Amino acid sequence: MAPPNDPVLSTVNVLKTHKKDNYFELSDGKLFVKNVPLLFEVPSNVSFSSFSSLCHTSSAPLPLFHRAHITSFKGGFLGFTKEEPSNCLMNSLGKFTGRDFLSIFRFKTWWSTQWVGNSGSELQRETQWVLLDVPEIKSYVIIIPIIEGRFRSALHPGKDGHVLICAESGSSQVKASSFSAIAYVHVSDNPYSLMKEAYTALRVYLNTFKLMEEKSVPALVDKFGWCTWDAFYLTVEPAGVWHGVNEFAQGGISPRFLIIDDGWQSINFDDQDPHEDAKNLVLGGTQMTARLHRLDEGEKFRKYKAGSLLGPNPPLFDPNKPKMLISKAIEIEHAEKARDKATQSGVTDLSQFDMKVEKLKKELNEMFDGDQENSLQPMCKDLRQNLYKSPSSIGNGRDGDELRFNSQGCGSSSCICENLGLKAFTRDLRTHFNGLDDIYVWHALCGAWGGVRPGTTHLNSKIIPCELSQGLDGTMDDLAVVKIVEGGIGLVHPDQADEFYDSMHSYLSEVGITGVKVDVIHTLEYVSEEYGGRVELAKKYYNGLSKSLAKNFNGTGLISSMQQCNDFFLLGTKQISMGRVGDDFWFQDPNGDPNGVYWLQGVHMIHCAYNSMWMGQIIQPDWDMFQSDHVCAKFHAGSRAICGGPVYVSDSLGGHDFDLLRKLVFPDGTIPKCQYFALPTRDCIFKNPLFDGKTILKIWNFNKYGGVIGAFNCQGAGWDPKEKRIRGYSNCYKPMTGSVHVHDIEWDQLKEASEMGKTEEYAVYLNQAEKLFLTKAASDTIPMSLEPSNFEIFSFVPIKQLSPTAKFAPIGLTNMFNSGGAIQGLQYEEATGDDGANYASAKVEVKGCGNFLAYSSVLPSKCFLDGAEVEFKWSSQDGKLTINVPWIEEGNGISNVTFLF
């Protein structure tokens, strides 16, 4: 007999205990859910299999296996069979009309967003999942295209309401004709529980990824940081980074993490010297055909000399120089676009256009040449010329030949220099900025945008022409895609994926880098033809990346970006635990719409909120950086305050709003982070908060002792299926009205919050309007009105009855956008005062400084701050109870506030 804890016995018991009739049935050309027809005209070659019939065992942890089988009767798999095998198969799953849906589709290779409609024909190409409203049974059904064998799938629109599924391998050599589980369907009466249940089932069945709950997140998740991208673009270099971090420190908000974005690497173009860095790059598009020619830092970082920025006479640096370079590069870009436009219109004499472009390029080069940092000593000639030419792999100690750089120089090709380069720079940063915990650097999944240049490293790389998949024909025009297709990708052979990432990351870890931001992830599908298809290629690369992350960056030090496709989430997230849930923060419309500076910001929030519904099951959602001096910075800041992830900005030098940042960040660089990840409220799920002219985006989250709803007027833009781009809808950029209710918060989605959802009465605080009032679970909704690109944050805090007359609820620090996030602890108890009298007490542990607010129905007898009696204010009109809380450095910013009643 098997022992009681035998997994085999436990599995058998699970299957026996939870076997129920499946809610789905496929018959007579219809897919039924609880006897309600969901899809009609289902082709005869489509099959349905229950979850339990296909998933008998799994190497997933037993609690997850158990959980998946408890709800297994709610889900199952769709498959189909064709007569002829192919590498790309399209088949209808049936049709639906007159049924509201929410979907997520890829509008670019790397980015996804929401789309709503009520017919299968209204879906967009490359749909990653579709959620159907089934009011007949007060439920919701999700259809998720998945991975089967060496094929991945996506949904597409069909004619007359049909939903098509496209299964593709990405290689003409990999064909199939039959699938038993190419899509998963699941039903639940709660759309948020539905997501949990569906992705738990897929995790158990596929066993190719892990849920968020199984992984640890990067330490920076509850901290403030700075990313160099919008400040410098490709001109980033040590002095600029140093001055940037110093500006924050001088402003009293020191970043706890730093991301050195694109521009730090050793890249060049195919027509250049294979071992010299490309020069004078500025804007993002200029390097997209460049490739890595070595795996360490570029020359401008390699030549950094230890202590050069710490001494009394640091090198001269003009903080306006990056903006001047960027401005000149934009001039060049506009001139080149004008030339291209002239060519398209039939102009044959382009000499004037060419002369202008060359003139501007000369001016840009002169700007670079006039600012050489002679005080930053170059590396030794041998190291500069030889590093990574030989097969030796830096930092892995494979040959025992690692040497330390000294004053006499060194000739080793795998030498890590103690007093030069990134190691010296990161050490100096940490020496001067004591609170800087993490320093990340950017790299593309394939190394650089154009991969790794053949023949320049010890790795076997080959330039592979790019071929876009069928589904990407319907996506938005993208300069990055055009450039990558133009240059192809220098792909390191997948058999060397482990060595590729370990070579880069072990070096970076050795020189003081604690993590990486990995970008341009969905290029593998372009180059999978000769490597067994996109699934097989992805598995090798993601496995190599995961191993390196576990070895070199504490298992967590990675932010994934440009990754919003099911290949990545179903194959690449066994180790990766954090990633972007929105497109880039665009400070203005790159296509020139003058109103894009406003409406693009709302689009960003929609991306993040709706993508979090599925991505948040697998990774910690990252809402991306923004600029604190942007015209819509406050709008962004409000969303970041309650998103549940890190807060970081990409401010240019001299471009900071410290007053705004202080509403987001504590003096020690940590943030009042919510306990969960923000999601759209239930009444927003099947709506279009971008251009339906009536819906306000509402997102909910939890603090330790209350719930929070953020309301954002994002109207004014969105996807245009005909133009295949996101454009402005100016008629919708106007004031909106709506309402909120305490039931908009899904209290049951977090175990620790569930009891708060059972409260009868709540104190409600409006952060922007500075209003405090009471509401009950049975009360009417709370009306609101919002101007375009404006927001309100509603805090709902359960009221505690302390005595027959005294009711109390702590709101938090009203000078912070997420007021309730400042409350770290709360105790209600009976207390005896110094006078011997009995009191009811409310003890609140607060982190931060500023105006602490609570609701109190009566005037408290006394108030104590860290044991000392202090004065307070109370308003009988609205119950506002306030005191000023200082920042106590010795106590890590924690104050104990006690009220006696």
Residue by residue, DSSP assigns 594-640 as TTHHHHHHHHHHHHHHHHHHHHTTTSEEE---B-TTSTTHHHHHHHH
What φ, ψ does residue 627 adopt, rounded to 5°?
-110, 130
Considering only residues 14 and 602, tell me which one the structure prediction assigns the higher pLDDT: 602
Considering only residues 478 and 590, tell me which one the structure prediction assigns the higher pLDDT: 478
pLDDT of 372 reads 52
Which residue is associated with the tokens 């705004």? 660
pLDDT at 753 over 60: yes
User: Distance between terminal CA atoms of the chain?
Assistant: 63
> Any idea what the Cα angle at residue 228 is, between residues 226 and 233, rounded to 5°?
160
pLDDT at 486 over 50: yes
CA–CA separation, 635 vs 712, rounded Å?
Answer: 8
| CA count, 13 A, side-chain hemisphere, 641 | 34
pLDDT at 410 over 90: no
pLDDT of 719 reads 96
User: Per residue in 714-728, pLDDT tens?
Assistant: 999 999 999 999 999
- Three-state DSSP class for 671? coil
Contact criterion met (CB below 8 Å) for 561 and 602: no
With a CB cutoff of 8 Å and minimum separation 6, the contacts of 53 are 76
pLDDT of 595 reads 87
> Any idea what the Cα angle at residue 497 is, between residues 496 and 500, rounded to 5°?
85
Task: Please give the single-letter amino acid code of residue 755.
Answer: E
pLDDT of 387 reads 40
Contact criterion met (CB below 8 Å) for 796 and 708: yes
pLDDT at 325 over 70: yes
pLDDT of 376 reads 52
CA–CA separation, 334 vs 340, rounded Å?
Answer: 10
pLDDT class for 473, splitting at 50, 70, 90?
confident
pLDDT of 592 reads 78
- For residues 72-84, give the mean pLDDT: 97
pLDDT of 415 reads 53
CA–CA separation, 463 vs 173, rounded Å?
Answer: 20
CA–CA separation, 351 vs 363, rounded Å?
Answer: 18
CA–CA separation, 561 vs 110, rounded Å?
Answer: 8
User: Per residue in 290-308, pLDDT tens?
Assistant: 999 999 999 999 999 999 9
- For residues 385-402, give the mean pLDDT: 36
Contact criterion met (CB below 8 Å) for 53 and 103: no
Percent above pLDDT 90 for the chain:
86
Task: Please give the single-letter amino acid code of residue 415.
Answer: C
User: Per residue in 153-167, pLDDT tens?
Assistant: 999 999 999 999 999
Q: Which of 610, 636, 617 is nearest to 570 (CA)?
A: 617
CA–CA separation, 501 vs 550, rounded Å?
Answer: 11
Side by side, the strands of the sheet bearing 823-832 are: 823-832, 838-847, 894-900, 862-865, 868-869
pLDDT at 600 over 70: yes
Helices (H) and strands (E) in the chain, counts: 18, 46
Which stretches within 71-163 are classed as H helix? none
Task: Identify the helix (H) or strand (E) that includes residue 263.
Answer: none
- Three-state DSSP class for 436? coil
> Any idea what the Cα angle at residue 452 is, between residues 451 and 454, rounded to 5°?
130
CA–CA separation, 45 vs 757, rounded Å?
Answer: 47
What φ, ψ does residue 92 adopt, rounded to 5°?
-75, 145
pLDDT of 553 reads 98
pLDDT of 412 reads 32
pLDDT of 433 reads 96
- Three-state DSSP class for 33? strand
pLDDT class for 386, splitting at 50, 70, 90?
very low
Contact criterion met (CB below 8 Å) for 809 and 798: yes
Contact criterion met (CB below 8 Å) for 141 and 52: no
Residue 324 tokens read as: 């001047």
| Least confidently predicted of 395-409, 524-538, 757-771 | 395-409
pLDDT at 280 over 80: yes
**What's the predicted TM-score (pTM) here?**
0.93
CA–CA separation, 311 vs 422, rounded Å?
Answer: 18
Contact criterion met (CB below 8 Å) for 868 and 886: no
- For residues 246-268, give the mean pLDDT: 97
pLDDT of 413 reads 35
Q: Largest alpha-carbon pair distance within the chain?
A: 97
User: Per residue in 1-34, pLDDT tens?
Assistant: 333 344 444 444 454 545 678 999 999 999 999 9
- For residues 637-654, give the mean pLDDT: 97
pLDDT of 277 reads 96
- Three-state DSSP class for 340? helix
CA–CA separation, 613 vs 80, rounded Å?
Answer: 28
Contact criterion met (CB below 8 Å) for 796 and 744: no
Task: Identify the helix (H) or strand (E) that includes residue 104.
Answer: strand 97-106
- For residues 388-408, give the mean pLDDT: 34
**What is the chain's alpha carbon radius of gyration, rounded to the nearest angstrom?**
29
- For residues 259-282, give the mean pLDDT: 96
The mean predicted confidence, pLDDT, of the chain is 92
Bridge partners of residue 580, in order along the sequence: 622
Residue 752 tokens read as: 């620790």
pLDDT of 589 reads 84
pLDDT of 312 reads 83
Q: Which of 561, 511, 516 is nearest to 301 (CA)?
A: 511
pLDDT at 404 over 60: no
pLDDT class for 417, splitting at 50, 70, 90?
confident
User: Per residue in 779-790, pLDDT tens?
Assistant: 999 999 999 999
pLDDT of 830 reads 87
pLDDT at 114 over 60: yes
pLDDT at 373 over 60: no
CA–CA separation, 123 vs 154, rounded Å?
Answer: 11
Which residue is associated with the tokens 């694109």? 262
pLDDT of 384 reads 38
User: Per residue in 829-842, pLDDT tens?
Assistant: 987 767 777 889 99
With a CB cutoff of 8 Å and minimum separation 6, the contacts of 348 are none
Which residue is associated with the tokens 């690369």? 541
pLDDT at 401 over 80: no
